[in-house]
Amino acid sequence: MRKIDNYVMSTVGGAMFLVMVVVLSLDVIFAFIAELEDTRNDYQTLQALWYVALTLPRRIYDYLPLGAFMGCLVGLGTMASSSELTVIRAAGVSLKRIVWSAMKPALVVVLLGVAIGEYVAPSTERIAQSNKAVALGAGKNVAAAHGVWHREGNTFMHLNAVQPNGVLVGVSLFEFDEERQLTQSSFSERAEFNGDHWILENVVATQMEGERTVREEHASLRWNTGLSPEVLSVLIVKPENLSMSGLYTYARYLGEQGLTAAPYWLAFWKKALMPLGTAVMVLVAISFVFGPLRSVTMGFRVFTGLLVGLLFKYMQDLLGPMSMVYGFNPLFAVLAPIVVNAIVGAMLMRKAG
């Protein structure tokens, strides 16, 4: 029995690995081609290649659920096509044992995904985005397109880049009065954190005094803000690419500032429930092999797997924005597709048993 368990695990695990290699290879090639369109200033081919390499952990994390689902579908489907599953069941191996053997590689994928998503991908993504922004001239451009916006009180700020050491590059500040009239704007090439405040360097500030404007230049200025380097490092990375701890910290900060944190809570729950979602997708794949896809061609299995995977993703992508528009808890938006797939998988497994 142990040999059968190991055979099922190795077959499914090998299929998951093969699916990940194929999907990631295609994604990296297309990503590199897309980056070549952004080459300018100091951001050239080698920098684009390095950027894609640094974003590889994030890409692995993004495709792990699909890889687990498709790998399980292909691995067990191959065994079903060659009648190996029929022989295994005829030998007295229960359906539950086969399911558990197929789920073990998925558990490894889940643990790998949690480790990459929490400890590797956020750091490499932050470095990649920062290096790209600096190479594109973040220190010289006012409110560059590749940066991020943030609001604190009546001050709107734009950060072109946040480097891993906490240094800000290209800081634009726009201050408004209670009537929402612009009173001051400033741009500094660089900013460093100094205890409880920031020091802006090479600052060009413009004061709005009625119909008259006054331009001033400063070698350095003190900037008081509630943003710490830890919080600011979260800003430069998209919510879905942050760690759960970073999402939680920044979501709480936005709540304290009276700003909406729904996108960050949505991303937090997606990451927190990713292991459960992956396990449910694998259960659905197993139920398909033992149910409606038992005797179909491999091409049809792959097509069905892609269709189900896309439907799952589109359900979450649709319900996520709806939760922000209609104000219901993002947790339900993430949990609903998982529950639907779990019910479908359980029903099909019950028929197969």
What does the pLDDT look like over 14-68, one tens digit per residue? Answer: 999 999 999 999 999 999 999 998 888 788 999 999 999 999 999 999 888 888 8
Q: What are phi and psi of 51, to 5 degrees?
A: -60, -45
The strands making up 155-162's β-sheet, listed across from edge to edge, are 148-152, 155-162, 168-176, 182-194, 197-209, 212-223
Residues 6 or more apart whose Cβ sits within 8 Å of residue 253: 226, 231
Q: Report the half-sphere exposure of 67 (CA within 13 A, side-chain side).
A: 27
Predicted TM-score (pTM) of the model is: 0.79
Structure tokens at 261: 């944190």
| Terminal Cα-to-Cα distance of the chain (whole angstroms) | 19
* pLDDT string in tens for the chain (353-residue length): 688 888 889 999 999 999 999 999 999 999 999 999 888 878 899 999 999 999 999 999 988 888 888 888 888 888 877 888 878 888 888 888 888 888 899 889 888 888 998 889 888 988 888 888 778 765 565 555 667 788 888 888 888 887 777 788 888 899 988 888 888 888 988 899 887 888 999 898 888 877 788 888 888 888 888 777 777 777 767 777 788 888 888 888 777 777 778 888 888 998 889 889 888 888 888 887 776 555 666 667 667 777 777 788 788 878 888 887 888 888 888 898 889 888 888 887 777 66
pLDDT at 301: 66
**Dist CA 20 CA 155 (whole Å):** 45
Burial code (b: 16+ CB inside 10 Å, e: under 16) for 300-318 equals: ebeebbeebbeebeebbee
pLDDT at 122: 87
pLDDT at 302: 66
- Detail the DSSP E strand segments found in 195-313: 197-209, 212-223
DSSP 65: H
**Dist CA 128 CA 122 (whole Å):** 10
CB contact at 8 A, 239 and 247: yes
- Detail the DSSP E strand segments found in the chain: 148-152, 155-162, 168-176, 182-194, 197-209, 212-223
Structure tokens at 233: 């490092």
Rounding to the nearest 10 degrees, give the CA dihedral for residues 221, 224, 225, 226.
140
**Dist CA 14 CA 8 (whole Å):** 10
pLDDT at 49: 94
